[in-house]
Amino acid sequence: MHVGNLRTALYAYLLAKKNGGDFVLRIEDTDRERMVEGAIETIYKTLKNAGISWDEGPDVGGNYGPYIQSERMHIFKDYARELVKKGYAYYCFCDKERLDQVKDIQKASGIAPKYDGHCRNLSSEEVQKKLKSGVPYVIRQKMPQEGSTTFHDVVFGEITFENSDLDDQILIKSDQMPTYNFANVVDDHLMEISHVIRGSEYLSSTPKYNLLYDAFGWSRPVYIHCPPVMKNSTEKLSKRNGDATFEDLLNKGYLPQAVVNYIVMLGWSPKSEEEIFSLSELVDVFDVSGISKSPAIFDLPKLTAINAKYIRNMSDEEFWSYAEPYVKSVCKRELDFKLLSQMLKTRTEIFKDIPQQVDFIDSLPKYSSDLYIHKKMKTNEENSLDALRKILPILENVDTWSKESVHDALFDLIKSLNLKNGRVLWPLRVALSGKSFTPGGGIELAALLGKDESISRIKKGIEKLESISNQN
């Protein structure tokens, strides 16, 4: 389920819940060539992960089922035949070869491709003869050739299309399955759908839908068309092009509630400056007047920033429930999860960042002595060696090992040496982790690793720097 699909579902859900309505899940599977195994289960899973529940649908039932369109085939053909009888549709017997020829000629002539109406005025006798002979057919909508069709969209306002530009779209395909365009109109009416929210690419099809509603004498729904979600100024976001789906984002370590929050804000603005909302809060503040006419750019850094805010607001326990599998993918030793959570939480934007932050815990990686050189901390290999030599006996004499006791011991040392904190603590961080970027400073790392491991790593750091000193 790609981001655009989910955003449409979220807008529909928020609109329904804000107004005390029902959110309906209908599986539109009439295009059998595009059926993908497991797709329906993915839709269920995605909506549930996003926190969206449906009031009616295939798995929960309702008064207007079945909610899978392929199980409603007996309905659509009867309605199509009704349109034929009323003169709003007709049987078309053109084969693919003829249609391709017509399209090629139109393209060569600079004409927008559309059906040329070849079967539009066949006599009833000709139609019956072909039907009895078993000639394959489709049923097409008979568009008016004069005048115009106007409709109102909540986002785009009044829109008018010239009827002469409308194609005689297919309603029933040659395999006797309804098209998406026809099945949705019939089902939206039968299921008493009041509001239809969809992508703006369907604006040009809406006059055709309305002509169907009018032909049947049915009330039109309220239309809310949303501009596309773009990956940049020229390209739409598309899973076919490898752009991330909702599940992909979760697998990368984004929180579902953060992704939902961000997706809702893609092309919609609240009336306040606030940008962090729970789903229930979104129900309260959502208003379709906030939907923009302009395309929205999917900005991954912005999503990452929102995700980081959600992480910061977590309790240590909640954070650890998400972080634990990422930590344990590279770290097998028992740890003080509360301390590690406090260390990681402020330095984690997405959970997939975690393994590279803690991969030093089980074993000290090989590292270059260049890490001890830090311009801002004013450290080099020589004064780092001096700092570690002074740190070692201080920490060896700490009896009760804790973050507080390590802190007190080291700050007493720093004070006695009359040095800046970084001159002592930077060499300690490097010696304990073998890295320049860690989820905490030297004090936190020492508390996390424990006394024995910390002392062992400091001694290794001293040995490394002594060997370099001896070479010089």
The tally of CA atoms less than 13 A away on the side-chain side of residue 282 is 28
Where do the H-state alpha helices sit in 346-450? 354-358, 381-396, 403-417, 421-433, 442-449
Scan for tokens 């370099």, then name that residue: 468
Measured in whole angstroms, the distance separating CA 252 from the mean position of its chain's CA atoms is 11
In 10 A of CB 268, how many CB atoms? 21
Q: What are phi and psi of 181, to 5 degrees?
A: -60, -40
**What span, in angstroms and rounded, lies between the C-alpha atoms of 381 and 373?**
6
252 forms beta bridges with none
Q: Which of 453, 437, 317 lies closest to 374 in space, CA to CA?
A: 437
Alpha-carbon span 47 to 30, nearest angstrom: 21
115 Cβ contact list (under 8 Å, min separation 6): 92, 94, 99, 102, 140, 167, 168
In this structure, is the dihedral angle defined by the CA atoms of residues 431, 435, 441 and 445, taken in order, positive or negative? negative
Q: Please name the residue ranges forming H helices in 237-332.
A: 246-251, 256-264, 279-285, 300-312, 316-328
Q: Which entry of 45, 239, 252, 460 is annotated as an active-site residue?
A: 239
Distance CA 93, CA 133 (A): 11
Amino acid found at 102: V
Nearest to 60 by CA among 14, 29, 26, 37: 26
For residues 433 and 441, the answer to whether their CB atoms sit within 8 Å is no
Closest CA to 122 of 78, 147, 89: 89
Burial class (CB in 10 A: 0-12, 13-18, 19+), 376: exposed
Decide if 350 contacts 304 (C-beta within 8 A).
yes
Catalytic residue check, 239: yes
Phi, psi of 431 (to 5 degrees): -65, -35
Closest CA to 22 of 50, 60, 49: 60
Phi-psi region of 13 (alpha: psi -120 to 50; beta: other; left: phi over 0): alpha
Active site residues: 239
